[in-house]
Amino acid sequence: MNAIITTLPGDGIGPEVIAEAVAVLHRVGEVYGHTFEIRTALLGGCAIDAHGTALPQETIDACTSAHAVLLGAVGGPKWDNPAAKVRPEQGLLGIRKTLGLFANLRPVTIHEQLLAASPLRPELLKDVDMVVVRELTGGIYFGEKKRSPHESGEIVIDTCVYTTGEVERIIRAAATIARGRKKKLVSVDKANVLETSRLWRATTARVMADEFPDVVLEHMLVDACAMHLIRRPADFDVIVTENMFGDILTDEASQLAGSMGMLPSASLGADSGGPTRMGLYEPIHGSAPDIAGKGIANPMATILSVALLLRHSLGLEAEAQAVENAVYATLEAGIVTGDVAAKGAPVSDTKSVGAAIVSRIV
Ligand code: IPM
Ligand code: MG
């Protein structure tokens, strides 16, 4: 197949990990006879420096004209002034919203090799295999914000907004994934306090009863979920939740996998019904300014994001599995960056890990 893939390397370690991911894409093309045309555009801090905005129009155009988008990371201390009008994160939030990517899939699996890298006891981690489905274009992230003077200084408002339709579509997306797995869906909310959560819970119950009677649904409050993720992580199959709860819970869940450097994510829009589906793929880690430019960042999360891209946007399942297997084989060979290396074991740099993965795609 011929596909156009736009990369948004972004800031910090973003360009370093994207370079390895692009090498993987080219290798997959060679081995399986596909042509991937790779384009690059600016997003985040680098776009602010070049154009004064985190999401330039030409970046939007480069994404809408592609079959899929692969993103590194955005942000860094250079653009961190909280009072600034333009911020790198606006680029990320803006591109998610502009492309209508409402379903964010964050799979958490734990590989034998990484048991020691997790702060949790290995016996708790055995059999951990879950997908967190985070609603990505609604909630408090995108509701109205206001600042006005107040006798004590200022009064500031963030608004959390959800519509029935927004809840229905994310529940359907998550339940469909659960149906293809262990048929267990945990829906996370704060229905004892928040009105949006009460809509979320009622809508979820209705959609599941009407359309997914074969999937077991459990409602869980977000504070309890935070606890159970640590106490009994292996009990979860698919978790679905709103935007901010999903942001917080997935950082927590990432620790189950040992390192944030291991976890990919996919952000999907509505299913087009056609052979390809627009999606944006990114590692869940950030720009890691403290190690940027040193060549030591772990490229595995970004390369595993390439596997998700092949699977979800291009429908190339065998190719996706080949990439995942190459990553696991590289882990097993002990060719890893410092964040996941066992104590005293040899440490490889970004490029050697990338090359080892490329050479295992056959
Ligand atoms: C994430 C990040 C972003 C988010 C930030 C960088 C805006 O934390 O993708 O989880 O909160 O969505
Ligand atoms: Mg986050």
Ligand 1 atom with the smallest distance to the CA of 92 is: 7
**Going by CA atoms, what residue is nearest to atom 6 of ligand 1?**
89
Burial (0-12, 13-18, 19+ Cβ within 10 Å), 136: buried
Ligand 1 centroid to residue 30 C-alpha, Å: 34
Burial (0-12, 13-18, 19+ Cβ within 10 Å), 153: exposed
The token duo for 211 is: 């359309």
Ligand 2 centroid to residue 265 C-alpha, Å: 11
| pTM of this structure | 0.94
Ligand 2 centroid to residue 248 C-alpha, Å: 6
The token duo for 311 is: 């699977």
- pLDDT reported for residue 11: 98
Confidence class of residue 149 from pLDDT cuts 50, 70 and 90?
Answer: very high
Average pLDDT over residues 259-277: 90
Any alpha helices (H) in 180-313, and if so which ranges?
A: 195-211, 222-231, 243-254, 300-308
Q: State how far the Cα of 185 lies from the Cα of 237, in Å rounded to an integer.
A: 7
Give tens-digit pLDDT for 349-358.
Answer: 999 999 999 9
Higher pLDDT, 112 or 277: 277
The crossing angle, in degrees rounded to 10, of helices 300-308 and 350-359 is 40
The token duo for 85 is: 């009008």
Confidence class of residue 114 from pLDDT cuts 50, 70 and 90?
Answer: confident
**Going by CA atoms, what residue is nearest to atom 2 of ligand 1?**
247
Ligand 1 binding pocket, CB closer than 6 Å:
89, 92-93, 247
Sign of torsion over alpha carbons 270, 276, 279, 283:
positive
Active site residues: 141, 190, 223, 247, 251
Query: Residue 270 to residues 1, 229, 244, 278, 314: CA-CA distances in angstroms?
Result: 22, 29, 21, 8, 14
Give tens-digit pLDDT for 180-194.
Answer: 999 999 999 999 999
**Going by CA atoms, what residue is nearest to atom 1 of ligand 1?**
247
The token duo for 227 is: 């606890």
Confidence class of residue 302 from pLDDT cuts 50, 70 and 90?
Answer: very high
- Give percent of the chain with pLDDT exceeding 70: 100
- pLDDT reported for residue 119: 87
For 119-257, the fitting CATH number among 3.30.2320.50, 3.30.1300.10, 3.30.420.40, 3.40.718.10 is 3.40.718.10
- pLDDT reported for residue 279: 97
Instruction: Check if 1-103+272-362 and 119-257 are the same fold.
Output: yes
Residue 257 has pLDDT above 90, yes or no: no
Residues β-bridged to residue 74:
none
Residues β-bridged to residue 129:
109
199 contacts 171 by C-beta, under 8 angstroms: no
Residue of 92, 96, 252 best suited for mutating to test ligand 1, as the one with most atoms within 8 Å of CB: 92
- Give percent of the chain with pLDDT exceeding 90: 90
Centroid of chain to Cα 221: 22
Ligand 1 atom with the smallest distance to the CA of 265 is: 9
Residue 118 has pLDDT above 90, yes or no: no
The DSSP bridge pattern shows strands 103-109 and 129-135 to be: antiparallel
For the CA atoms of 211, 238, 242, 267, what is the dihedral angle to 10 degrees? -100
Ligand 1 centroid to residue 247 C-alpha, Å: 6
Q: What is the mean pLDDT of the chain?
A: 96
Ligand number, closest to the Cα atom of 73 = 1
The DSSP bridge pattern shows strands 153-158 and 68-73 to be: unpaired
- pLDDT reported for residue 103: 97
Find the range with the poorest average confidence among 70-74, 112-116, 199-203, 291-295.
Answer: 112-116
Homologous superfamily (CATH) of 1-103+272-362 is Isopropylmalate Dehydrogenase (3.40.718.10)
- pLDDT reported for residue 82: 82
Domain ranges within the chain, ordered by starting residue = 1-103+272-362, 119-257
Average pLDDT over residues 262-285: 93
Give tens-digit pLDDT for 209-227.
Answer: 999 999 999 999 999 999 9
**Going by CA atoms, what residue is nearest to atom 11 of ligand 1?**
247
Confidence class of residue 112 from pLDDT cuts 50, 70 and 90?
Answer: confident
**Going by CA atoms, what residue is nearest to atom 9 of ligand 1?**
284
Ligand 1 atom with the smallest distance to the CA of 282 is: 9
Ligand 1 centroid to residue 227 C-alpha, Å: 21
Query: Residue 275 to residues 71, 96, 312, 324: CA-CA distances in angstroms?
Result: 22, 21, 10, 22
- Look-up of token digits 């390895």: 20
Give tens-digit pLDDT for 133-148.
Answer: 999 999 999 999 999 9
Ligand 1 atom with the smallest distance to the CA of 74 is: 6
- pLDDT reported for residue 272: 81
**Residues within 5 A (CB) of ion ligand 2:** 247
Average pLDDT over residues 115-128: 89
- pLDDT reported for residue 342: 85
Count of beta carbons in the 10 Å neighbourhood of residue 148: 8
